[in-house]
Amino acid sequence: MMIFWRAVGIVIILICVNCFGFTSVSAAEVSDFQNIVWRNAYNASIAGVYNPSTEQIEWKQARHAGIGGVYNPTTQQIEWKQVFHGGVAGVYNPTTEQIEWKEVVKSGVAAVYNPMMQQVEWKEVPFSGVAGVYNPIKQKVEWKEAFKSGVAGVYNPITQKAEWKQMLNSGVAGVCTIEGYYTLNSSSFYGIMDDFN
């Protein structure tokens, strides 16, 4: 289970409504008392992954594209993927020892490895952010959708609940910094104004 939480990449989600009219990208980071680091990027997608090899959280942002990242315990490296004007989700599958990716256009997508079923669960939502978190107490995947908004979820071992962050027109990512529970809850959906008219 420890390896699962260390390795698994779940899902960020983002929406940008006016990406061609606004060119700057800003990111804000907030650490709360529950050892979860959240970061958002206005008008951009963002993904965060804890790298146990370097003991650092690595962040990447993308404009005009969705972005996702997953730590690969086999190579001990983070793999990143971008999708222009779309969403992307990645997750490490410990059963197959492979990273599985899914790319979509004008939709949000999320991926979570379910250790009870020993398979990856996927969720795709048009024009919306979507995030998923495996809750070991409930032994199931919890999902959250956010229309035209970024959303991220992180399992908090202190409260034994999934914590969620949602932001309009911003990408959101969250990482738990408690050892054994490092998670990327990201991947992204990126749209433009014409997509929603």
Tell me the pLDDT of the chain averaged across its residues.
77
- Residue 110, amino acid: A
pLDDT in tens, 112-138: 999 999 999 999 998 888 999 999 999
Sequence-ordered strand ranges (E) for 52-189:
56-62, 65-72, 77-84, 86-93, 98-105, 107-114, 119-126, 128-135, 140-147, 149-156, 161-168, 170-176, 188-189
pLDDT in tens, 36-74: 899 998 888 899 998 888 888 999 999 888 899 999 989
Measured CA to CA, the distance from residue 9 to residue 91 in angstroms comes to 4
Q: For the purposes of burial, counting CB atoms within 10 Å of the CB of 80, is it exposed (0-12), middle (13-18) or buried (19 or more)?
A: middle
Average pLDDT over residues 171-185: 72
Measured CA to CA, the distance from residue 127 to residue 18 in angstroms comes to 14
8 Å CB contact between 90 and 80: no
